[in-house]
């Protein structure tokens, strides 16, 4: 299998201390190594606790401002009241319609996104040739880089209108519009992570299955997908986190009427989600009023729902990890999960009438249709932006500060501000995230503490970005007195992408075979040496994927920086971390919603943002490809 592995341990490699060990130099006594190991494991432990700490902080700050509403209205009236009318006389704060709206929009979005994502992931991992794969995989990842403001803008202009005309409704702003948009946004996240999980299923499994005479489709359905089921579930949870937490795009297309659809299956009814409520009302609510506290109450409920959804998902995963991949009798939960994966329900061989080859053709056709739909959605949005935005691009547009509310001049300060924010967010999240993942996978068994940390990470992942924004404002801007500043935005964004980085890093560390670690120990390497030289290198592609997804999110998010880091317009570049900055997504948001007659600049800004994300992705993808080529030889 991997004959070269000992060499990996042998060759000198700079560790954190900057000291480069070589095999002959290793201290014979082992005390020094032992101390280093001890220090590192304690450090990792402390960092890993950070996730739990953040969760408590966020919950604490939300409760601090949210409990008053329950005192006022009573818990039952708040949760089960059907009237949300905070400015009525008398005001009423019933959030049942918002809860129902959130659940409906998310459920339908996942029903659309999961099959399409699975089709695309299976296509990329199992069916596509290397050339096609090299095009489709980055293309899908790119979808993640389109900022939610842009999606919302498109939803508002094209999607809702299309729904209105196609189904002949008075208005197209609806539950359906929100779900379609959320599905498009969740697909790249789910696909990327699921594809990594599928790709990490050992080759021997596939070869064994094919050698027994199974078709490629049977192999995918009965061997590869069940073998990757934990990673796929992680992918779905990540995607759901993205969907529940989405604010900007949803509030632009669902109509935001606080009604429960009547009948409950009426997908054309306008709905209002919890995030949408925070997104449209938080900005202008009177500080300290009952309405203000009600919104914090909404945020608490949102977190509770996230926790419940995550708890359920974790239960499913645990159930699946207990069941061996090729078990004959899947439990009810397994079957529910299998139901999500098209064509994966085990059927009885005796009743088979259709030839396996025919089934395979049909399955591959369905998968191809799914991939085409995903790529068409990407293509349509990209084309629209490029065609409309190309005219706005000029040297002045790229190098000058804006004037006349962004109707003239350029967006240079916004470009720089976004780069600063993304770089800062990564600087915060990458070390923390990777250290946490290493601690969870390499340094502990499954204890109550690690379960707590993982639960905290899941909860953070599902925390809507707007809640991070509120937390950043309450904690960083006011409590720590940073003011509206670059550093507050960087930390807020960093916390927001932390769970993505932890989850993807964990997943890729988990896929490293145990034998590698054992081989390293057998040669006398210490724990840390093993992690640093043997486990981390082959896990890099997964880590890079996580970083790519995070860049896409951090560069495109508006909600977390709205209250923490940005100014509408700024002639100068920030000269310190404590000054506010301009940013591309916020600039786009303002141009879209508050400035009439800036169409060129709007599309131009969107185009620049896309190109920027695209080039960051491209660098990362090139690195990953170069790296993959190096490991293919090792795995071959």
Partner 1 sequence: MTGKRLSGVTAVALAGILMVVLMAAGCLGSQPSGSPASPSQQITVTGSTTVLPIAEKAREAFEDLYPSTRVLVSGGGSSVGVRAVGEGTADIGMSSRDLKPEETGMYPGLVTHHIADDAVILIVHPDNSIESLTLDQVRGIYNGTYTNWNQVGGPDLDIVVVGRDSASGTREFFAEYVMNKEDFTKNQEEFNSNGGIQQKVSQTPGAIGYVGLGYTDGVKSLKIEVDGTPIEPTLENITSKKYPITRPLFMLTNGEPGGAVKEFLDFIMSEEGQQIVESADYIPVQG
Residues between 65 and 124 that touch partner 1 (CB under 8 A): 83, 85-89
Look at the block and give the residue holding tokens 């293509």. 379
Pick one of 285, 363, 428, 453: the residue that binds partner 1 (CB under 8 A): 285
Which residues, 586 to 605, sit near partner 1 by CB under 8 A? 590, 592-597
Q: Cβ(581)–Cβ(413) under 8 Å?
A: yes
DSSP string, 387-408: HHHGGG--HHHHHS-EEGGGTE
Which residues, 373 to 392, sit near partner 1 by CB under 8 A? none
Q: Cβ(420)–Cβ(635) under 8 Å?
A: no
Pick one of 18, 213, 263, 283: the residue that binds partner 1 (CB under 8 A): 283
Terminal CA-CA length for the chain: 8
Q: Cβ(254)–Cβ(105) under 8 Å?
A: yes
Which residues, 199 to 258, sit near partner 1 by CB under 8 A? 251-252, 255-258
Give the H/E segment covering residue 477.
Answer: none
Please state the closest distance from residue 562 (CB atom) to partner 1, in A: 7
> Distance between alpha carbon 445 and the CA centroid of its chain, in Å?
26
Q: Which one, 456 or 582, has the nearer CB to partner 1? A: 582
Which residues, 406 to 445, sit near partner 1 by CB under 8 A? 412-413, 416, 419-420, 423, 427
Pick one of 228, 235, 392, 477: the residue that binds partner 1 (CB under 8 A): 477
Q: Which one, 315 or 622, has the nearer CB to partner 1? A: 622
Please state the closest distance from residue 633 (CB atom) to partner 1, in A: 5
Asked whether position 372 contacts partner 1 by CB under 8 A, the answer is no
Which residues, 29 to 58, sit near partner 1 by CB under 8 A? none
Q: Which stretch binds partner 1 (CB under 8 A): 104-112, 356-364, 476-484, 507-515?
A: 476-484
Max CA distance (Å), the chain:
81
**CB neighbours (10 Å) of residue 284?**
7
Pick one of 580, 604, 609, 621: the residue that binds partner 1 (CB under 8 A): 580
Please state the closest distance from residue 401 (CB atom) to partner 1, in A: 6
Q: Which tokens is 268 given?
A: 């054309």
Pick one of 327, 394, 399, 515: the residue that binds partner 1 (CB under 8 A): 399
Asked whether position 484 contacts partner 1 by CB under 8 A, the answer is yes
Q: Which tokens is 573 given?
A: 């570049």
Q: How far apart are CA 102 and CA 250, in angstroms?
A: 10
Q: How far apart are CA 151 and CA 185, in angstroms?
A: 8
Q: Cβ(600)–Cβ(434) under 8 Å?
A: no
Q: Which tokens is 397 given?
A: 């547009």
Asked whether position 23 contacts partner 1 by CB under 8 A, the answer is no
Which residues, 159 to 198, sit near partner 1 by CB under 8 A? 160-161, 164, 170-173
Pick one of 387, 478, 480, 522: the residue that binds partner 1 (CB under 8 A): 478
Which residues, 118 to 157, sit near partner 1 by CB under 8 A? 156-157
Please state the closest distance from residue 539 (CB atom) to partner 1, in A: 10
For 158, 381, 553, the CA distances from 384, given in Å and listed in that order, are 11, 5, 21
Pick one of 1, 11, 312, 515: the residue that binds partner 1 (CB under 8 A): 11
Q: How far apart are CA 10 and CA 14, in angstroms?
A: 12
Q: Cβ(419)–Cβ(25) under 8 Å?
A: no
Pick one of 159, 566, 606, 609: the residue that binds partner 1 (CB under 8 A): 566
Among candidates 301, 249, 306, 300, which has minimal Cα distance to 279? 249
Asked whether position 549 contacts partner 1 by CB under 8 A, the answer is no
Q: Which one, 208 or 597, has the nearer CB to partner 1? A: 597
Please state the closest distance from residue 200 (CB atom) to partner 1, in A: 17
Q: Which one, 82 or 390, has the nearer CB to partner 1? A: 82
| C-alpha angle 427-429-431 in degrees, rounded to nearest 5 | 75
Please state the closest distance from residue 371 (CB atom) to partner 1, in A: 29
């Amino acid at each position: 299998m991997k004959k070269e592995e000992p060499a990996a341990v042998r060759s000198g490699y700079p560790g954190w201390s900057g000291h480069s060990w070589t095999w002959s130099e290793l201290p014979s006594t082992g005390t020094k190594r032992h101390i280093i190991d001890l220090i590192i494991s304690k450090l990792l432990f402390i960092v890993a606790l950070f996730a739990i700490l953040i969760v408590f902080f966020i919950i604490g700050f939300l409760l601090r401002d949210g409990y008053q509403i329950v005192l006022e209205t009573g818990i039952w009236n708040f949760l089960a009241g059907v009237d949300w009318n905070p400015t009525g006389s008398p005001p009423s704060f019933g959030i049942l319609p918002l809860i129902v709206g959130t659940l409906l929009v998310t459920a339908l979005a996942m029903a659309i996104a999961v099959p399409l994502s699975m089709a695309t992931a299976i296509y990329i991992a199992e069916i596509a040739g290397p050339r096609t794969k090299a095009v489709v995989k980055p293309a899908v990842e790119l979808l993640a880089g389109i900022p939610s403001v842009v999606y919302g803008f498109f939803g508002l202009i094209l999607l809702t209108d299309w729904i209105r005309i196609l189904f002949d409704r008075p208005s197209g702003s609806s539950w359906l519009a929100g779900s379609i948009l959320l599905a498009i946004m969740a697909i790249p996240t789910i696909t990327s992570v699921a594809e990594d999980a599928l790709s990490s299923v050992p080759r021997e499994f596939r070869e064994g299955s094919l050698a027994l005479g199974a078709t490629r489709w049977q192999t995918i359905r009965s061997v590869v997908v069940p073998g990757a089921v934990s990673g796929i579930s992680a992918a779905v949870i990540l995607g759901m986190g993205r969907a529940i937490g989405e604010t900007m795009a949803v509030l632009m297309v669902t109509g935001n009427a606080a009604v429960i659809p009547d009948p409950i299956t009426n997908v054309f009814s306008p709905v209002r989600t919890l995030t949408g409520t925070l997104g449209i009302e938080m900005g202008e609510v009177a500080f300290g009023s009952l309405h203000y506290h009600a919104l914090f109450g909404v945020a608490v409920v949102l977190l509770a729902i996230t926790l419940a959804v995550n708890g359920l998902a974790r239960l499913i995963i645990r159930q699946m990890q207990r069941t061996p991949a090729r078990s004959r009798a899947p439990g009810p939960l397994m079957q529910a999960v299998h139901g999500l994966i098209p064509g994966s329900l085990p059927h009885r061989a005796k009743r088979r009438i259709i030839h396996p080859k025919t089934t395979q053709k049909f399955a591959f056709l369905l998968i191809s249709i799914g991939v085409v739909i995903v790529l068409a959605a990407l293509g349509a949005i990209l084309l629209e932006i490029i065609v409309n935005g190309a005219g706005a691009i000029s040297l002045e547009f790229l190098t000058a500060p804006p004037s006349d509310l962004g109707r003239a001049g350029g967006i240079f300060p916004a470009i720089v501000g976004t780069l600063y924010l993304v770089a800062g967010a990564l600087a915060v999240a990458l070390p923390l995230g990777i250290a946490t993942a290493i601690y969870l996978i390499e340094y502990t068994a499954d204890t109550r503490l690690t379960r707590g940390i993982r639960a905290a990470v899941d909860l953070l992942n599902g925390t809507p970005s707007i809640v991070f924004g509120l937390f950043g404002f309450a904690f960083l801007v006011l409590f720590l007195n940073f003011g509206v500043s670059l550093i507050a935005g960087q930390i807020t964004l960093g916390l927001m992408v932390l769970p993505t980085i932890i989850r993807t890093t964990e997943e890729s560390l988990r896929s490293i075979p145990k034998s590698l670690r054992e081989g390293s120990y057998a040669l006398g390497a210490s724990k840390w040496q093993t992690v640093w030289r043997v486990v981390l290198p082959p896990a890099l592609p997964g880590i890079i994927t996580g970083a790519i997804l995070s860049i896409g999110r951090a560069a495109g998010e508006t909600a977390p920086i709205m209250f923490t880091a940005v100014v509408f317009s700024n002639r100068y570049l920030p000269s310190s971390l404590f000054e506010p900055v301009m940013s591309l997504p916020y600039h786009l948001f303002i141009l879209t919603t508050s400035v009439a007659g800036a169409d060129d600049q709007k599309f131009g800004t969107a185009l620049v943002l896309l190109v920027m994300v695209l080039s960051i992705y491209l660098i990362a993808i090139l690195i990953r490809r170069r790296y993959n080529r190096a490991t293919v030889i090792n795995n071959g």
